[in-house]
Structure 1
Amino acid sequence: MDVRGLRCVVTGAASGIGAAVAEQLTSQGASVTALDLKAPELPVERFVECDLANPVSIEEAVNQLGSGWDVLCNVAGVPGTAPAELVMKVNFLGHRHLIELFFDRMNKAGSIVSVASMAGFGWPLRLEKIHELLATDDFEAGLTWLRENPITGNAYNFSKEVLTVYVMTMGLALAERGLRINAVSPGPVETPILGDFEETMGKENLDGVRDLVGRHATPADIARIVVFLASSDSAWINGVSIGADGGIGGAILSGLVPAPEI
């Protein structure tokens, strides 16, 4: 995976998967600018404060960044223990707003990589609603739609369902611009917010996944896939979400094991 010399922006670089992505990119010769609410502990070329729940903050951060970027890695996110509206703002609306502001700021053959989740595997069941939300024009219109269409169930799951479908629907459009967009969908990962997921999805559910596949993922496990999708080695991969869950996703989708109630 050759990322030497690539100019990369990483959201959520202060901890967890985002920190692992920033570390791996930097160690392999890329330059990394971190977008987050707080500065990462690991050294990066630049830190720009950004609140993905606030479109004005996103716009101000992007204006500071300028153009000429090769990679945008969207890793920042909040768990389902947060209020539902905040979950949707950060995990999808802010995510989309940032991506679309980057369209004209990226170099030819640029790569956009988002971290979704295996929790979004149920997107086919809500595809009509997801398309309605995706049809909104911007952050504020999306927020209005969400307030008029209250989420049933876990807001985190829905946020990742929407993100997954967004990535799939944008592949061809971005190919016309000479760009790519993909997602990585992890299962449970040993990060500081794992306890939040145990609270909202059920510790016994996540323990069951761990027992079936042998362990939870580490941030480095997921970061390697993000870095691969950022590199030119993945040049013919576009508009897909790659499962990174140790095999549990395939077992669920094929009916080998029942889907957990998360």
Structure 2
Amino acid sequence: MWSVKARFDGRRAVVTGGASGMGAAAAEALVGLGAAVTVLDVKPPTSSTVEYRQVDLRSRASIDDVVGSLDEPTDTLINCAGMPQTFPYRDVLACNIAGLRHLTESLIPTMPAGSSVVNVSSIAGRQWRKFRDALSPLLATEGMDEALDWIDAHPDLGDPYVASKMAVNLYTLNRAPQVAAAGIRINAICPGNTTTAMSADFEKVSAAGVLDQMSSVAGRSATPEDQADVIVFLASDLARYVNGVLLDVDGGFCAAAETRQLARPGN
């Protein structure tokens, strides 16, 4: 029964950011488990086993166009697309939270009972409670245009990547109980240091040794496949009673940080 519940036969999965990194790994895993996968990205994927639609998550018009082109209901939505803080402030927040929310809210009304959404957040967003009051007005905006206007009026949120991931966490928690009555689940993974194309960007903005410390408990950084396996689990019927969860996938780093055990055992 476990193997049946892990499969996605007859289901349509939409994966943003599916051309590379965690998104590509998740798309490949979903195809292998029987899903029909549509990748939404600014660039085409290398895989020939997925359908591709170009989208720019910073643009409401681009999102609306791609949503209108989807001719089948979406059973699984994986929001992997994101931009690091080396990009302009508005672009990062537009893509990582305003665009993510607009796409998700556009698809939810068409999703049948039993569907699931998995957002890719980050352990960088763990402090969302401290910034709830600052970020809640952003999530209270109606529609993407209003969200972008709010972002333009608030250039003082600090690191836009961190702010966007805190907002993704808060959005996930807010919406999970609201869509439960329709039989839809929304969860998020919070990756730790993971080797992807964005790793070089994170190295540019991180203090010396920070990324190595984040990998010190597990002894290595995560691979995209490490993250994709958890994404697929949360999207599957194996996690059918899991809703509104922010799941750290960091090799134990946050546990070690909170208990002051950052040095690896024996060192």
For normalisation by structure 2, the TM-score amounts to 0.93
2:158 pairs with 1:153: yes
Aligned to 1:76: 81
Q: Which amino acid aligns with 2:69?
A: Q
Greater Cα shift, 131-140 or 95-104: 131-140
Alignment of 1:8-47 (within 5 A): 8-47=13-52
> Which stretch of the first structure deviates more once superposed, 247-256 or 26-35?
247-256
Instruction: State which of 134, 138, 144 in structure 1 corresponds to 2:143.
Output: 138
Structure 1: state its 5+ residue gaps.
none
| 1:168-247 aligned within 5 A | 168-247=173-252
Deviations 1:207-231 (A, max 9, x none): 1112233110000000001101111
Q: Supply the RMSD in Å over aligned alpha carbons.
A: 1.5
Decide whether the 8 Å contact of 2:12 with 2:72 is kept in 1: no
Q: CA deviation at 1:147?
A: 1.9
What letter is aligned with 2:184?
L
Task: Confirm or deny that 1:54 pairs with 2:47.
Answer: no
Aligned to 2:3: none
> What CA distance in whole angstroms lies between the structure 2 residues aligned with 1:225 and 1:113?
10
2:203 and 2:99 mapped to 1: Cα distance? 25
Q: Report how far residue 256 of structure 1 moved.
A: 4.8
Runs (4+) of structure 1 exceeding 6 A deviation are none
Q: TM-score of the superposition, structure 1-length normalised? A: 0.94
SS of 1:212's partner is coil
CA distance in 2, matches of 1:155, 1:228: 29
Cα distance in 2, alignment partners of residues 149 and 111 from structure 1? 32
Which residue is equivalent to 2:167?
Answer: 162
Question: Residue 26 of structure 1 contacts residue 44 of structure 1 at CA under 8 Å; is this kept in 2?
Answer: yes
Q: Percent identity?
A: 38
- The offset of 1:122, in angstroms, is 1.3
